[in-house]
A and B are shown apart, each in its own frame.
Chain A
Amino acid sequence: MKKNLMLFLIVLVTMGTMFAGGGKESSKDSGSKTLRVSWWGSDSRHTPTLNAMAAYQRENPNVRLEGEYGGWDGYYQKLVTQIAGRTAADIIQIDQPWLNELSARGDVFVVLDRTMIDLDEFDVDFLNDYCTYNGKLLGLPTGINVNTFLVDVTLLADNGIDPDTVWTWENIITEGRKIHQNDPAAYFSSASPDIMRYWFEIYIAQLAGAVVNSNKQVAFTEEQGTQAFAYFKQWFDEGIVAPFSQTSLFYQKFHENPSWINGKTATAWDWVSSMDKAIGNKKNIETRQLPVMEGAKNTGVLMRPSQIMVVNNSSVHKDEAIKVLDYLFTNHEAIEILGTARGIPATVSGRRILAEKNQITALAEKATNDGIAQAGLPQSSWQMNSEVIQTMQDVIDEFGFGRLTPQQASAKMIANLTATLTNL
């Protein structure tokens, strides 16, 4: 009896396997293709992307597009693991700094060319600067993303600060201190430790050109580093920014800080692509240009793709994946559906269509135009390396907690960066 039961189970399992195989085969026979598309974002991105994918499937009934989407946290770690295990999606949204980091480890993404996609839609320099690796075009920019400076005009005015102030490094201190003086719980700028790192990078870029240059070397001197840290020490001393003990918990999430949410912080550095999330339900937020010192070698203001869409080199449907990409970037209907889910489009027709439909908000348009006008040189791939960023962050943390003087911080930053770069 037991033997019979065992035999029955074995036959059942075998039959199941056979049917499963048969199902796959029949799907191949009918010429249908299933492609996976992965991205991160929030509902404001998920919904239009799913709608655009549905529109593609209506036009191409033999294609089934499956979305794999979620939040930002852990996306990169999951992606790299999937690429290593050859289980990554066919079409992948990546962050711009990852293009070099991943491509340096092998032919991970499909090389794109004019025969596949109408590249005239894109700015050539933008493609060359941000989407190529070793001269090969590996992805397409979803949108133009730039640094911006968000200001709460009401909070500034309430503290006797002209909301139309053109910001300089000097008047950030002279004007910004008023806010903390009027209310000890309020600050001029929302700066978690990672945001302080961005400020430091901008300041050093203006002073020395870059933190790490394309020759894999630290690009600033100890004196320049000391000058930068001495400047930012005033931010802590004058209450321009809250102490790290209050902000370190909001690493990479400054917009979750109650101080920012509850209108106790007047300004914030941000990317245009994520400013909607930062603004949330806040009223009276406008954008301004970032401070640039006289004789700056580089404004340090960054412009780069909001994200890059790539095709997985391990995909069995590369041609179809490229067709999908082409559709998402150039098809009139798709552009309308996607709207500004990934920032202001990087394609000429994308911008035109959305402008005609009034889908680009005045705030996003102004912030983007201001950023483009101020944009400096792209950062070197070495400066965008994760270990280099962590090295900078560690020193910024020590400095922010008052464990290092400006001079010590500068010397330590240079020494640690040099050691890290040697190991890369």
Chain B
Amino acid sequence: MNEKDLSKVLERVRGLTAVLEPLREVLLANLVLIGEIPAPTFGEQKRVSFLEERFVECGLQNCSTDELGNGLAILPGTKGDETILLTAHADTPFAANEDHTYTLNSHRVLGPGVADNSLGLAVLATLPILLEKLDIQLKNNLLLMASVRNLDQGNQEGLKFFLANSKQPIHAAIVIEGSPLGRLNFRSMASLGGMITCQINRKISQESAINILCQIVAQLNAIHLPQENHTFFTLGSIGGGISYKYPARNGFLKFQLRSNCDRTIEEITGSIYNILDGIAQQPGVSAHLKQIASTKSGGLDSGHPFVLRARQILDALDISPQDSIYSPIISAFAEYQVPALCIGITHAENVNYVDEFIEIEPIMKGVAQLIGILMAIDGGHQCRTSTAG
């Protein structure tokens, strides 16, 4: 896209939020209808089916579900030479038996998973209608995908499966997350999400698994973390035992290790195995490391044209940029060499807690941002009428 075309896009984007405002209820209705369908990781099918119905209603092509359960549909471009993937993950960290009722007031939508990631899916479901109302036709095909098995032990399985098996070459990808507005992630850090489990054989030892875990924590904290690689270690969750009266027979510790260097993660993982081997020398004690999720470092450089254009779109909409350029979701794209960006739609609080909520007012600005980035990376968008919208 040349500078002249880009300035046209930027000019249009500046007025887009106001034009989209009357269509807000369509998006909010989709948000509620989608969000109230429970979708724990590995249990997303009802939510994906609903989305597929919406895709069919919009007249999209190839509405289907792949072998892993990802929901897919194509909005054909005017030329269709290349394909842009637009994706949002379908799962939430909430169990199916949680109360998924949503509440709306004038300013907020409240409910489990509303930001992560019912809003992302609602944008996916609504976008074809919005583009039609705005008279925007992209040159390239838009492949819409609700990906499954993304969170925690899902380990982005749906997205990885799609990228590994899709026969359709993907030329660019945008990942939609509900929040926060202003995030622009284009790199992934290397990471290891792991769980250390500890078991005590009662016939041999009266030791408490909690005590053993404390020894492990002390040794983990002693590992050298190279600061030049931005290496961090997060102890996220710990549990074990059944009562205050008896020494714990088993326990677990969940952690995340991340760094911008794959090699550093490999080395520290080796150190963790050494620690566990040492701990297991104690009679009747065993300790194991189970990998929950992992990512590789990679992604786009700050000077990549997609990143530059996306920043110009955010700037044109006066969206305050967030600091971090990293998101684990970029890892899968980096692995398959697909240039990808991850953006957020609005502001949220209490994300992943049952009192999660999003702010309504910034939503259409977040959607305008998405449409702007799409037009900018499409490289030749067409409007049926120049004053449309």
Tell whether A pairs with B. Answer: no
